[in-house]
Amino acid sequence: LAKTTQPISMDSYEGQEVNITCSHNNIATNDYITWYQQFPSQGPRFIIQGYKTKVTNEVASLFIPADRKSSTLSLPRVSLSDTAVYYCLVGAYSGGGADGLTFGKGTHLIIQP
Amino acid sequence: GAVVSQHPSWVICKSGTSVKIECRSLDFQATTMFWYRQFPKQSLMLMATSNEGSKATYEQGVEKDKFLINHASLTLSTLTVTSAHPEDSSFYICSALGGQGKWGNQPQHFGDGTRLSIL
């Protein structure tokens, strides 16, 4: 199982770019990297997913180096509503089982005015 | 698209009763659904993997006789907490994986969770 390590918490200010890095040293060949956002008393919400290099969508970018042992979620111009817990999940589903569905502790991002 | 609905969102019941939680994929067929439990200020813990038409696969330490999972159709999975006790109080969250094959390129879609409080 690919274990993930993230900073427990981060602070930033409105309008800034925030980068959250996740380490996954024993990522497997078939594993994808997925980031989720969770607000209190809600289920996680999908942000972005990638396998290698860079992926960008309307809300975030995901940078994955060639060795895939880490990944960085980049949130451009954050606002107060981006205050949440962010999880990176590394794994793959194979046949009758799910590998790597172990959520790490997540990063509590706090955005200040 | 890819909406997962979970019901009820909140339930309070007496110790010893059984509680059923439903997880529905509203606009896609979910071959696989997952059930998680989350305690306050902690991360999500996978309880079981539910595949349509077959028995659920439980994670180590999760009592299959206490947490009954049924995935009878491609759009519905249920989790029944039997003879619930106060220590079962938690936030239960389901997720659904659509389509065939590897989830790795199909992210999980989560419900909004069920807050279970056992008195």
pLDDT tens readout for residues B90-112 = 999 999 886 554 555 677 889 99
* Predicted pLDDT at B104: 55
B15 to chain A nearest CA, in Å?
23
Using CA atoms, how far apart are residues A20 and A49, in angstroms rounded to an integer? 14
Eight-state DSSP code of residue A78? -
Which site among A27, A101, A102 would you substitute to test the B interface, given the most B Cβ atoms closer than 10 Å to its Cβ? Answer: A101
What residues in B contact A32, CB-CB < 8 Å? Answer: 104-105
Low-confidence ranges of chain A (pLDDT < 50): 95-96
Report which of B63, B96, B57, B94 is spatially closest to residue B79, judged by C-alpha positions: B94
Answer positive or negative: Cα dihedral of A51, A54, A57, A58: positive
A4 to chain B nearest CA, in Å?
12
Residues 13-32 of A with CB under 8 A from B: 30-32
Residues 6+ apart with CB under 8 A from B29: B74, B75, B98, B99
* Predicted pLDDT at A96: 46
A99 to chain B nearest CA, in Å?
10
Other Cβ atoms less than 10 A from the Cβ of B90: the count is 21
What residues in B contact A42, CB-CB < 8 Å? Answer: 112-113
Using CA atoms, how far apart are residues A30 and B88, in angstroms rounded to an integer? 35
What residues in A contact B34, CB-CB < 8 Å? Answer: 98, 101
Q: Are B112 and A43 within 8 A, CB to CB? A: yes
What residues in B contact A47, CB-CB < 8 Å? Answer: none
Is there a contact between A7 and A20 (Cβ–Cβ < 8 Å)?
Answer: yes
Task: Tell me the three state secondary structure of residue B84.
Answer: coil
Using CA atoms, how far apart are residues A1 and A21, in angstroms rounded to an integer? 19
Q: Are A96 and B44 within 8 A, CB to CB? A: no
Is there a contact between B39 and B47 (Cβ–Cβ < 8 Å)?
Answer: no
Eight-state DSSP code of residue B53? T
Is there a contact between B116 and B6 (Cβ–Cβ < 8 Å)?
Answer: no
Q: Are strands A18-23 and A70-75 parallel, antiparallel or unpaired?
A: antiparallel
B43 to chain A nearest CA, in Å?
5
* Predicted pLDDT at A2: 58
* Predicted pLDDT at B30: 84
In order along its 119 residues, chain B shows pLDDT tens digits of 678 999 999 999 999 999 999 999 998 888 889 999 999 989 999 999 988 888 899 998 999 999 999 988 889 999 999 999 999 999 999 998 865 545 556 778 899 999 999 99
Which site among B23, B44, B55, B97 would you substitute to test the A interface, given the most A Cβ atoms closer than 10 Å to its Cβ? Answer: B44
